[in-house]
Amino acid sequence: MLAVREVSKSYGEHAVLDKLTLNIEKGKITSFVGANGAGKSTLLSIMARLLKSTEGEVLLDGQPIHEIKDLDMAKRVAILRQSNNLSIRLTIRDLVSLGRFPHSKGRLSTEDIKAVDKAINYLDLHEIQHKYLDQISGGQRQRAFIAMVVAQDTDYVLLDEPLNNLDMKHSVQIMKTLRRLVDEMGKTVILVIHDINFASAYSDNIVAMKNGRIVRCGCACEMIDAANLKEIFDIECDVFDAGDCKLCNYFI
C-alpha cells in the first residue's frame, strides 16, 4: 500500500500541500481530481519520490520511500509525467525498451525482450513498433509511453494527466487500458485527471483536492454527487445514473 502521512509541501511561504494523509488501496484505480492549482500533480510527484515533501512522509508497503534504494524504487513504482519531451529520436520499441532499465541496466536479456514484446502487444502497437515517435499521432505516442510503463512491470503505476490533449476515442482507449492493467494484471493505478466523467466511469476510488488539501475521498459511486462537485469545483451540475457509473452534466 502507498500511504501518505501528514505530507506538506511549501515553496518559501507559499504552501502547496497542507498536511495530507491518505491510503491508496492496492489493486484499484484511484483518481485525483480538483481544480488547477489544487496540488494534485505535486502530491503525485512526492509519492513517486520526484519531489521531497517539506513535512511528513510517504510509505510504500510500510517502508518510508526515502529509505528505498533507487533501483528498488524503480522496480516497484513507475510514473509517467505530463511532459514527455525527448531530445533523442527513438522508435516505439526503443522507448518501450527503456522501461526495462531498472531490470536490465541497459543490457536486455531474453526475459526483458519478452516483457517489451508483451507491453507492445498489450497496447496494440506491434504493427507500428518500428516507427519513430515523431512519425505517429498523439494518441499513439501516449500509448507508447504507457507501454514503456507496462514494460517496467511495477506494482504501482502513477500517471499525471494521461488524457492531456487526446481526443475522445484515444482517451477511451487509454482509460480502458488502465482498467485492464488493474483487472488483468493486478496493478495499482493512481492518476491525475481533469475529466470528472472519465474518473467516474473508470475509477474505483476518487480523491478530491482543493487548495492543497483533500476535501473528499471515497469510492467513485459516492463521490459523484452534485453537492460534492459543487464543493470541489465551485460549479453547479446535474448528476445522473449511467449504467454502472454516475455521470455529470456541468453545462447547465
Alpha helices in the chain (DSSP H): 40-47, 70-76, 92-98, 101-104, 110-122, 138-152, 168-185, 196-202, 220-223, 226-233
What mean pLDDT, rounded, does the chain reach? Answer: 94
Res 34: pLDDT: 96
Q: Tell me the residue range of the domain where 191 lies.
A: 2-81+156-249
Residue (of 161, 156, 218) closest to 41 by Cα position: 161
Q: What are phi and psi of 8, to 5 degrees?
A: -125, 150
Does a structural domain hold residue 103?
A: no
Q: Per the domain annotation, does 170 fall within a domain?
A: yes
Residue 117 lies in a domain: no
Say if 237 falls within a structural domain: yes
In this structure, is residue 231 part of a structural domain?
A: yes
CA distance 156 to 56: 21
Q: Kindly state the cell numbers that stand for 195.
A: 475529466
- Grid coordinates representing 213 are 488539501
| Confidence at 198, pLDDT banded by 50, 70, 90 | very high
Could you give the number of structural domains in the chain?
1
Domain assignment present for 55: yes
What CATH number is given to the structural domain containing 230?
A: 3.40.50.300
Classify residue 240: in a domain, yes or no.
Answer: yes
Q: Is the pLDDT of residue 87 over 80?
A: no
Residue 128 falls inside a structural domain? no
pLDDT at 166 over 90: no
Q: Which three cell numbers mark 47? A: 509519492
